Amino acid sequence: EAEVAQSPRYKITEKSQAVAFWCDPISGHATLYWYRQILGQGPELLVQFQDESVVDDSQLPKDRFSAERLKGVDSTLKIQPAELGDSAMYLCASSPAGGRQYFGPGTRLTVT
Amino acid sequence: GQNIDQPTEMTATEGAIVQINCTYQTSGFNGLFWYQQHAGEAPTFLSYNVLDGLEEKGRFSSFLSRSKGYSYLLLKELQMKDSASYLCAVRDGAQGNNLFFGTGTRLTVIP
């Protein structure tokens, strides 16, 4: 079965540094999501793409976070500068139109 | 907005049955999902309900009552590998069909 790919799986960075995460959705899935999951909580949506367009980024802290999906396939989420409170699991998911979401393995970020 | 509640933790015995409840309030209900998440891993899909009633899939079943804003996940013949967090998520048609997750229920299966 096809899977959502994410890299890196783990990232440790110092506060004030820049960090980037990459996601490759399941082939043919037009919709891509980035979630943040703090330990002990459920995932929270950061940004949703439909093809290359942002559909919803209302919960994305735009002063430090940015996301792009230039060709409507893979996507990059960037944090600059990272803060201690950004330590979390960053999950990418993709779905076909109107279908259920498939999650990638996530990137666990630790900011020191 | 969305308000999704589920118990934080539950413990059950191997071979037993456990029911994990989820209540929700949302303006544009368009389906409820249950996901399983082992520690440090991604959520994996378990079940989907959009109409009232029971959906059965092997050892797992999920129930929905839209009028009560209530769902439960039923796990039968518990196995040690079922120890995980179980996430209830509601799809909101008034919010772009986005998924809104509860905090998850951490289930511990004991021998």
pLDDT per residue as tens digits for the range B66-78? 999 999 999 999 9
Quote the minimal CA–CA distance from B64 to chain A in Å.
Answer: 17
Average pLDDT, chain A: 94
For position B1, what pLDDT does the model report? 53
- pLDDT at B26 > cutoff 80: yes
Q: Nearest by CB to B102, which of A42, A56, A103?
A: A42
Q: Cα A82 vs. chain centroid, distance in angstroms? A: 15
Asked if B33's CB is within 8 angstroms of A100's CB, the reply is yes
Q: Cα B48 vs. chain centroid, distance in angstroms? A: 9
For position B27, what pLDDT does the model report? 86
Q: Nearest by CB to A100, which of B45, B101, B104?
A: B45
- pLDDT at B2 > cutoff 90: no
Counting Cβ atoms within 10 Å, is residue A69 exposed (0-12), middle (13-18) or buried (19+)?
Answer: buried
For position A70, what pLDDT does the model report? 86
Evaluate whether B20 touches B32 at the Cβ level (below 8 Å): no
Residue by residue, DSSP assigns chain B as --EEE--SEEEEETT--EEEEEEEE-SSEEEEEEEEE-TTS--EEEEEE-SSEEEEETTEEEEEETTTTEEEEEE-S--GGG-EEEEEEEEEGGGTTEEEE---EEEEEE-
Instruction: Output B78 or A98, whichever has higher pLDDT.
Output: B78
Question: How far is residue A74's CA from residue A23's CA, in Å, rounded to a whole number?
Answer: 6
**What is the rounded average pLDDT of the residues A32-49?**
95
For position B94, what pLDDT does the model report? 86
Confidence of residue B96 (pLDDT cuts 50, 70, 90): confident
Q: Nearest by CB to A48, which of B35, B43, B96?
A: B96
Question: How far is residue B80's CA from residue A14's CA, in Å, rounded to a whole number?
Answer: 38
For position B64, what pLDDT does the model report? 98
Quote the minimal CA–CA distance from A5 to chain B in Å.
Answer: 11
Question: How far is residue A80's CA from residue B61's CA, in Å, rounded to a whole number?
Answer: 43
